[in-house]
Structure 1
Amino acid sequence: MMHSNNKNTVLPIAALLASAALWGAIWYPYRWLNEMGVSGLMSTFISYGIALIIGLPFYFRHLKSIVNAKWFWLAIIITSGWTNTGYVMAVIHGEIIRVLLLFYLAPLWTILFSWWMLGERLGRLGYFIIVLALTGAMVMLWQADGRLPLPANTAEWVGLSVGMSFAFTNVLIKKTDMITIEAKSIGIWIGGTLAPLPLLLMQPAVFAGVGDYTALLWGALLLVALAMIGVTLCIQYGLMHVAANRAIVILLFELVVAAISSYWLAGESLSAREWVGAAMIMIASLFSGKLEQEHSK
């Protein structure tokens, strides 16, 4: 619940900035683990599994809040599971900033899912956000040879789908205020653990290699797991105390961190045209915060 007084929000803002910074840089340890022989699927499975093992004893009692919303909780597990698994796969194999910009089309999908599931009217601002976000994506993905402005590879398609699943997860979370934050966190960790499992079971040899992981690799996986716990708790704490439109501005810090880290650590950069499209997508994200504020009045 949002507080109406002028309570100091330094700590919630710091929590949001920390979660945005972690998400903007988490691609690097996942890429490093992949280069060291721990695939994105396996590192997702292990890191979220560790997070679940650590968090479950503390939050288990909160699972009673799902009694009257089991199917919604299951849906959160499925959508968040693909969000986190797909995110890792996309940032390992794709260009970081392009993948994240496609991910940040999420406000567009949030508007559509909110209209469908929550009955929220679009209005002029909603249509403006849709047009602006789609135009930004077309500018960023424009092909000089006349091909359709679509994602250029599998990683970018995954990034686009992850933005959709992230938006669907957010709408589900908004719809299920009867489920506690702690129970939703458990669902997110379960999703991150289970989502990569079917594909891993098709490659049984990868499990045999787990016994050969060095202490350094296990240490890195533990640190990533702790980061995932921190992100989950920080972002939910921040959203409890900071207005939605302000929170979205803060969370866009992820793109800044991703742009800087991908330039310095992977030598990636955007062209002038891609930056124009990126700016349009980010502006659409900012306006989506205003739209959410209007719905909350």
Structure 2
Amino acid sequence: MASKQKVVAVIGLVTAAMVWGLIWYPYRVLDAAGVSGMAATVITYTFALSLGVLLSGSVWREWRVAGWIGILLPLTAGWSNLGYVLGMLDGEVMRVLLLFYLAPLWTVGLSRLLLNEQLNRYGYAVAALSLAGAIVMLWEPHLGWPWPQNQAEWFGLSAGLSFALANVLVRRADHLSVNYKSSSIWLGTALITMLAMLVMGRTHELLSISPDYFWLLGLLGVVLCAASFIVQFGLTHLPANQSIVLFLSELVFAAIAAYFLAGESMGVREIIGAVLIVSASLMSGKMQSGDS
């Protein structure tokens, strides 16, 4: 039974990676039609939350045993989702996504701190390769330090850090159901986005959405709901450091979609950086000290 669950988890994570590799495009379509990324995020995740709670039943009873993870998981996963959407809307798809996929670098320390996963030499190699990939990709001699060069890239980087933390928290919270984890992520994303809109004075954007686009927003909500259930099942039944490897297929789906749908292609530096970052992610599955 355990082996069957792992097979289902692997298939599920690859399927979810395909969804996340393509989902930026409908958000761009909505943004071009006047539905901002924040407004679309609030509505789609509210749809996902409503459908998910309807399917999950009395999932909120678990709040009493959720502890500090019940607060931190929605916050980290919420920013991961919002930062991802905002970064993909305004930045180059693959550059933002590669910065997001520095997640194994952050997972090195987080898994040690929160999961007590003892690291071997692979852990140090993962950190070195990830940093090298980022430096190669971001290095512009005339701009100084190899930092993200615009707001979209900072969104991608910070969303990847939040994703790594959420990934580790999901693995640690084995006392919580998949339904509860998924619901808390939808709620966190909707609340954080709504709070950001309130602070920025942009709540009026929710009232100006044409009814013609609610079918697409609703469809995205259904897809997000299904993908979240799949992801939480996969993360619950696979080690945190191995789960990130399966998510790498998102890069393939996104690269193909970016080329055909957005006319974007990677330069030599981006390709070299991608190879280093992907190598780090592939190596991250061997970071536990029990591996040779």
The TM-score normalised by the length of structure 2 is: 0.91
- Out of 64, 77, 102, the position equivalent to 1:67 is 64
Q: Is the 8 A contact 1:244 1:293 kept in 2?
A: no
> Residues 177-188 of structure 1: matches in 2 within 5 Å?
177-188=174-185
Q: How many residues align?
A: 290
Does 2:198 align with 1:203? no
Match of 1:35 in 2: 32
Answering whether residue 269 of structure 2 is matched by residue 273 of structure 1, we say: yes
Q: Whole-Å Cα distance in 2 between the matches of residues 63 and 223 of structure 1?
A: 25
Residue 145 of structure 1 aligns to a residue whose secondary structure is helix
Match of 1:133 among 120, 130, 133: 130
Question: Structure 2 vs 1, CA of residues 126 and 10 (structure 1 numbering), >3 Å: closer, same or farther?
Answer: closer
* Shift in Å, 1:231: 1.1
Q: Distance in 2 between matches of 1:224 and 1:42?
A: 13
The structure 2 residue matched to 1:94, chosen from 73, 91, 95, is 91
Identity %: 42
Deviations 1:36-91 (A, max 9, x none): 11100000000000111111122242333332223211111111110111110000
1:95-117 residue CA offsets vs partner (Å, 9 max, x unmatched):
11010100000011011112223
The equivalences for 1:165-180 within 5 A come to 165-180=162-177
User: Which residue is equivalent to 1:116?
Assistant: 113
Q: Is the 8 A contact 2:28 2:89 kept in 1?
A: yes
Q: Which 5+ residue runs of structure 1 have no aligned equivalent?
A: none
Q: Which residue of 2 aligns with 1:290?
A: 286
**Which residue pairs with 1:214 in the alignment?**
211
For 2:70 and 2:99, the matched residues in 1 are separated by: 26
1:162 and 2:159 aligned = yes
Contact 2:96 2:156 in 1 (8 A): yes
Q: Which moved more, 1:283-292 or 1:21-30?
A: 283-292
Aligned partners of 2:236 and 2:113: how far apart in 1? Answer: 24
SS in 1 for 2:208: helix
**What is the aligned partner in structure 1 of residue 11 from structure 2?**
14
**Partner in structure 1 of residue 260 of structure 2:** 264
Kindly provide the CA deviation profile for residues 146-171 of structure 1, in whole angstroms up to 9, marking residues without a partner as x.
61111110100110000101111112
Q: 1:52 aligns with which of 45, 49, 67?
A: 49
Write the distance in 2 (CA, Å) between the matches of 1:194 and 1:241: 28
For normalisation by structure 1, the TM-score amounts to 0.90
1:135 Cα deviation after fit: 0.6
CA contact (8 A) 2:181 2:232 kept: no
Corresponding residue of 2:230: 234
Q: Kindly tell me: are residues 267 and 144 of structure 1, through their superposed partners in 2, closer, same or farther at Cα, counting changes over 3 Å?
A: farther
Give, in whole Å, the separation in 1 of the partners of 2:82 and 2:254.
18
| 1:149 is the counterpart of 2:180 | no
Query: 1:230 is matched by which residue type in structure 2?
Result: A
Amino acid at match of 2:207: A
For 1:74 and 1:240, locate their aligned partners in 2 and report how far apart those are by CA, in whole Å.
Answer: 18
8 A contact 2:170–2:236 mirrored in 1? no
User: Separation in 1 of the partners of 2:81 and 2:263?
Assistant: 24
